[in-house]
Amino acid sequence: MMISKNAKFILKQRYCQNNEQPQDVYKRVAEALSMGDTKFSEKLLKAMNSGIIMPASPTLRNAGFKQRVLHPCAVLPIEDSIKSIFQTLANVGILFQHGAVVWVSTSAILDQKETSYPKEEKQRGFFHF
Q: What string of DSSP letters covers 1-33?
A: ----HHHHHHHHHHH--TT--HHHHHHHHHHHH
Distance, in Å, from the CA atom of 34 to the CA atom of 115, rounded to the nearest integer, reads 46
Bigger pLDDT: 23 or 127? Answer: 23
| pLDDT of residue 56 exceeding 90 | no
| Choice among 58-67, 77-86, 88-97, 113-122 with the minimum mean pLDDT | 113-122
The pTM of the full predicted model, rounded to 2 decimals, is 0.61
Burial zone of 118 (CB within 10 Å; 0-12 exposed, 13-18 middle, 19+ buried):
exposed
* 69-82 pLDDT per residue, tens: 777 788 888 888 89
pLDDT of 127 reads 58
Distance, in Å, from the CA atom of 46 to the CA atom of 79, rounded to the nearest integer, reads 43
Distance, in Å, from the CA atom of 58 to the CA atom of 115, rounded to the nearest integer, reads 40
pLDDT of 81 reads 87
Distance, in Å, from the CA atom of 55 to the CA atom of 61, rounded to the nearest integer, reads 10
The SS3 call for residue 69 is coil
pLDDT of 103 reads 85
Beta bridge partners of 28: none
Strands 101-105 and 73-77: parallel
pLDDT of 67 reads 66
* 91-105 pLDDT per residue, tens: 998 888 877 788 888
| pLDDT of residue 51 exceeding 70 | yes
| pLDDT of residue 7 exceeding 80 | yes
Contact at 8 Å (CB) between 78 and 106? yes
